[in-house]
Structure 1
């Protein structure tokens, strides 16, 4: 076996809890066993007294067995059998620990806002938040959404979660017949400002990601969740009103409500809003 391959196997064994010496001896035992401690130590370039200690440890882990012979010889438990048993035991222990630690945890998640500052961390938190949804997901974002988020929304819809989705861009492709309602942003899906991703789940947790996709915040804090939830519902109200009374509202406040935005907006009117307003006015001539 190539040196690079053996080194990789030793590294992987160390990653799952073997000591370096245990990893070297176990791999050697798989290669040459049955073998004596002396033979294993010589092959693995390990002092014989150390090899005896390692073999006691490996038999204790269930990775090796001692067989008859003078001197004693050892065989490796077949790797598939050993690692399947190890994986099953580890999974069971992790589940038990998670349950015990959850019982110990104080319900203090509503006291903080978690700052997220990397795309991978943000997507991971978005997926986990959607996966935790029990009854309702409300969100606003640009469509189409990333593939993994789209799949998470599909899975939520299939398990009966209501989805209220305000979108920029194209209409999201989500399962028909599910409890899903879609609204184009402001009734026409126009992208007229910074594209924040905003998510509120079960009125218990909320997440906001900035347009760069690099920074965001997650919280179960009641005030934070309330702000996100109320904002999203007002987006739904506005979309419903615009879809029903768009002509009357535009005649009073201008396309994309630019008169209101100019008077009360947090930012100066930007090119996207002005371009949209100009396009709407030309269309009506």
Structure 2
């Protein structure tokens, strides 16, 4: 059996201490904090903070034992999705490479000016080539950072400064999930910076809409080493990518100055960028309106009113926008709305069972209203998001109702998630909270009977 090397887990985004702790739990099974310090070779004071990080990342679960023990989540469950994402990134690069090869062949066949592209597997060579291209920049440099792009940007800072000194315009897009936001702010004197909620998998730089540089963050790959990048000298391709990124990211982004002012004394860059995004105010209005209905008319009548409003919204969307969301069957209707909401990751429906309507569970995500509440204990069974309410309307339209089985606040994503059970109207199904309440009452009654008998 191969001996585990904790350093290899760094490829999956774990620190050295996190890697050692997870490896030890995989190898030895559930451990106490003291046992982990010994088996993972991690200082005892560092064990608990790193276990908490692993729990938040989904790698470790804590057991209700005394003293507290924790265990590793199955590597297949936590590592396979990461590996799949990395493989998908490589597949996308391969598709891009195929498209570029085809374009190159077509232009050669037409006896036109030759376009050039290079694939680098060595970072030093890639950056040297990029710096040479930066020397020729005349008008604009357009940069999109990924999660790991800050280090590359810092390495190019002097070359970029020389470009700015020549009056070259520098535009920079960064994801708000960027951990080292302070380093990005250091570029405010050089670039116009906008922050966006989306995050690309690759670092992108476009010079004068004629040179495209793509640096892959993929390290767990098929057929590549630890580094992959692509540099293309093709004005048509570069201009196309530049136009798409401008429309989908730059125009939708929030200027860093706005986010900086919204931050104030807060440490939450994530919340500041959300506040700079106009869509959150629409979400807040939807949430407040829905909550007022529930508070005014009670939960049962309130949810019925909300569903009727949603049915009218569904009708408006279909008549005025031409989007057919209600199909010939509830399964088709739900699949249609699920496909639409995939872009926002707000609704998930499990269609794996043979009879979906007997076993169907679905989850409503991204109840942004939770961001506006002082207490995370506040929650609504219906979770007022536009997609969530429209999904409820689909169920109402076909004679189904939903029961909230459990509501959970995801601290990492700062949003509520509601697990719901779907059943025909009139069927009886108790929620998890109701079931737990009955168990507690029964337990208390038995304890009282036992005391009376004694």
TM range (shorter): 0.3 to 0.5
**Larger RCO, structure (CA 8 Å, separation 6 or more):** 1
